[in-house]
Amino acid sequence: MAEFTMELNDEQKEVRDWLHGFAADVIRPAAAEWDEREETPWPVIQEAAKVGIYSLDFYAQQYFDPTGLGIPMAMEELFWGDAGIALSIVGTGLAAVGVLANGTEEQIGTWIPQMYGDANDVKVAAFCSSEPDAGSDVASMRTRAVYDEAKDEWVLNGTKTWATNGGIANVHVVVAVVDADLGSKGHASFIVPPGTPGLAQGQKFKKHGIRASHTAEVILDNVRVPGSCLLGGKEKLDERLARARERAKAGGERVKNAAMATFEASRPAVGAMAVGTARAAYEVALDYAKTREQFGRPIIDNQGVAFELADMRTQIDAARLLVWRASWMAVNGKPFTAAEGSMSKLFASETAKKVTGQAIQILGGNGYTREYPVERMHRDAAIYTIFEGTSEIQRLVIARTLAGVPIR
Ligand SMILES: Cc1cc2nc3c(=O)[nH]c(=O)nc-3n(C[C@H](O)[C@H](O)[C@H](O)COP(=O)(O)OP(=O)(O)OC[C@H]3O[C@@H](n4cnc5c(N)ncnc54)[C@H](O)[C@@H]3O)c2cc1C
């Protein structure tokens, strides 16, 4: 039986401090500029590539950390630096995980290096699932993938939206419907290689926060990709569809729960991003409260301010513990019997929204200006309760799991 410890090991501490140094020295100083520019911070991504943070190797090392804490620790530090820039750095990793999870060894070897490029010519990748009429309700997706047997090609048609790095990515991973009768079990993922005709960027969104991260529509108009671009391959897809049809005939719902379980395992990573933003705002507020004087004493000497800080810190620590627990459970194959992955994402993202708002209040007028970072952090924090499943969807997953009823 492994000994229980709440301490990071020496190797983890070293990685955490290294990431923190990059976040403090490179990401944070660039944050305000890229937020104003609302553009992908290519020079910062390149810096990250040069030191080895923007690479599959780094991501994989954290992913395979046997304690499960590698990814949450990395996310917290990078997003502590700045959420928009950090999402530009880790967005490719989210698409790469889609390939790692479903692709063959050959697909992994071919496409993941093209997602990252190299330190002198960095590239990004996009994961395109959401659609204008299929956000929370993923099963109502309409983008179709039809197999052209004569040419061994798949033909993709539809409109994706909200894609991080959509249209500027070298490689797009696109989820599409191959069998409309099977709900989300009738979906499959496809690689769209660089320069494929028919894929175009639609509207680029002007956003409230995480403005350094590019978010856009992706239009697929008769996009033809080789059969080899179906992740996992045709044989595996046919087997999976046959099983799903059998199960659908036999009663249905178990099929959909399997997909929800996969999301459960990735949700703590988003919770960790939220912890990073919340901690950043809390630290600014704490420093400010110790140095800002009114009525002849630092404002932290007022219980009204000090108690706010006490609550902020307590909630951030509680959020991190939920994230770490879910990450540890995921890596150890413990079943999420109370939707602990969703719990961690729900609590951490709501905490980030709340704590960044409290930080603005503690900084008073300065908190409301762009001279201080908490205004940006508050705008950034609003994303966590929306993407990768809204707070309402997390509550729905937790509630249905507790009730023992099917999630959809
Ligand atoms: C900046 C940004 C980046 C993103 N990046 C990506 C990406 O890279 N790839 C990708 O595929 N997607 C991405 N998304 C999409 C994101 O995952 C969706 O926005 C999210 O899932 C919500 O979908 P929606 O916006 O259509 O909202 P809706 O699903 O329309 O929800 C609207 C409101 O209704 C509520 N609601 C819906 N159904 C229920 C219900 N059953 N019970 C209670 N309340 C409900 C929601 O909680 C929400 O408050 C991104 C979004 C943003 C904003």
Q: Which residue has the tokens 């590019």?
A: 214
Q: DSSP string covering 179-201, please?
A: -GGGGGGGEEEEEE-TT-TTEEE
| Rounded average pLDDT over 313-322 | 98
Residue 106, token pair as written in the block: 């050959």
Query: Which of 90, 136, 204 to mutate for ligand 1's pocket (most ligand atoms within 8 Å of CB)?
Result: 136
| Rounded average pLDDT over 129-135 | 95
Rounded distance from Cα 329 to ligand 1 centre (Å): 26
| Rounded average pLDDT over 302-326 | 98
Worst-scoring range by mean pLDDT, 36-45, 259-268, 276-285, 388-397? 259-268
pLDDT beyond 50 at 258 = no
Residue nearest to atom 2 of ligand 1 (CA): 162
Query: Which of 127, 386, 395, 397 to mutate for ligand 1's pocket (most ligand atoms within 8 Å of CB)?
Result: 386
pLDDT beyond 60 at 257 = no
pLDDT bucket at 6, cuts 50 / 70 / 90 = confident
Q: How far apart are CA 259 and CA 205, in angstroms?
A: 29
| Rounded average pLDDT over 269-293 | 98
Q: How far apart are CA 41 and CA 328, in angstroms?
A: 32
Tell me what percent of the chain is helix, strand and coil, each rounded to the nearest 5: 60, 15, 25
Phi/psi of residue 11, nearest 5 degrees: -65, -40
What was the pLDDT predicted at 255?
Answer: 44
Taking only the tens place, the pLDDT of each residue in 133-147 is 999 999 999 999 999
pLDDT beyond 70 at 403 = yes
96 contacts 115 by C-beta, under 8 angstroms: yes
Phi/psi of residue 100, nearest 5 degrees: -60, -40
pLDDT beyond 60 at 278 = yes
pLDDT beyond 50 at 91 = yes
pLDDT beyond 70 at 252 = no
| Rounded average pLDDT over 10-30 | 97
3-state secondary structure of 223: strand
What was the pLDDT predicted at 234?
Answer: 96
Residue nearest to atom 30 of ligand 1 (CA): 135
Atom of ligand 1 nearest to the CA of 392: 47
The ligand 1 site (C-beta within 6 Å) comprises: 127-130, 135-136, 162-164, 207, 210, 215, 383, 386-388, 390, 392-393, 396
Q: How far apart are CA 223 and CA 197, in angstroms?
A: 6
Query: Which of 35, 162, 349 to mutate for ligand 1's pocket (most ligand atoms within 8 Å of CB)?
Result: 162
H helices present in 64-119, as ranges: 70-81, 83-102, 105-116
What was the pLDDT predicted at 98?
Answer: 85
Catalytic residue IDs: 388
| Rounded average pLDDT over 188-209 | 98
Residue nearest to atom 43 of ligand 1 (CA): 392
Q: What global pTM score does this model have? A: 0.96
Residue 253 vs residues 32, 140, 341, 407: alpha-carbon distances, Å: 47, 16, 20, 8
pLDDT beyond 80 at 407 = no
What was the pLDDT predicted at 160?
Answer: 98
Residue 178 vs residues 162, 166, 408: alpha-carbon distances, Å: 22, 22, 20
**Choice between 92 and 263, residue whose per-residue pLDDT is larger:** 92
Worst-scoring range by mean pLDDT, 26-40, 93-107, 359-373, 380-394? 93-107
